Amino acid sequence: MIIFIKLILAHLLGDFIFQPRQWVEAKEQKKLGSYQFYLHLLVHGLLLLLLVADIGFWPFALGIALAHGLIDLVKLFAQNEQSRRYWFFIDQFAHLLSLVIALWFYDSSLFAGMETITDKHWLSITIFVFLSLPASMTIKTFISRWTPLPDEHSASLDKAGQYIGILERWFVFVFIMAGRWEAIGFLVAAKSVFRFGDLRQSKDRKLTEYILIGTLLSFGLAILSGWLYEQYASQWP
pLDDT tens-digit series, residues 108-135: 887 776 657 788 888 999 999 999 999 9
Q: How far apart are CA 157 and CA 184, in angstroms?
A: 25
> What number of helices (H) and strands (E) belong to the chain?
11, 0
Q: What is the pLDDT of residue 1?
A: 73
Cβ atoms of 173 and 229 within 8 Å: the answer is: yes
Q: What is the pLDDT of residues 56-102, one digit of tens each?
A: 999 999 999 999 999 999 999 999 988 988 999 999 999 999 999 99
Q: Is the Cα torsion angle 118, 119, 124, 127 positive or negative in sign? A: positive
pLDDT in tens, 1-55: 789 999 999 999 999 999 999 999 999 999 999 999 999 999 999 999 999 999 9
At 118 the pLDDT is 80
Each domain of the chain, given as residue ranges in start order, spans: 2-111, 119-233
Q: What is the pLDDT of residue 130?
A: 96
Q: What is the pLDDT of residue 217?
A: 94
Question: How many C-beta atoms surround the C-beta of residue 136 within 10 A?
Answer: 20
Q: Is the dihedral of CA 20, 22, 26, 29 positive or negative?
A: positive
Q: How far apart are CA 200 and CA 208, in angstroms?
A: 8
| Burial class for 201, CB neighbours closer than 10 Å (0-12, 13-18, 19+) | exposed
pLDDT exceeds cutoff 60 at 201:
no
- What pLDDT is stored for residue 227 in this prediction? 93
At residue 153, the pLDDT reads: 46
Q: What is the structure's pLDDT at 160?
A: 81
Q: Which residues contact 13 (CB under 8 A, 6 or more apart)?
A: 47
Write down the pLDDT at residue 148.
66
Which of 159, 139, 160 is closest to 212 using CA atoms? 139
Tell me: pLDDT of 233 over 90: no
The pLDDT value given to residue 202: 53
Per-residue pLDDT, 76: 95
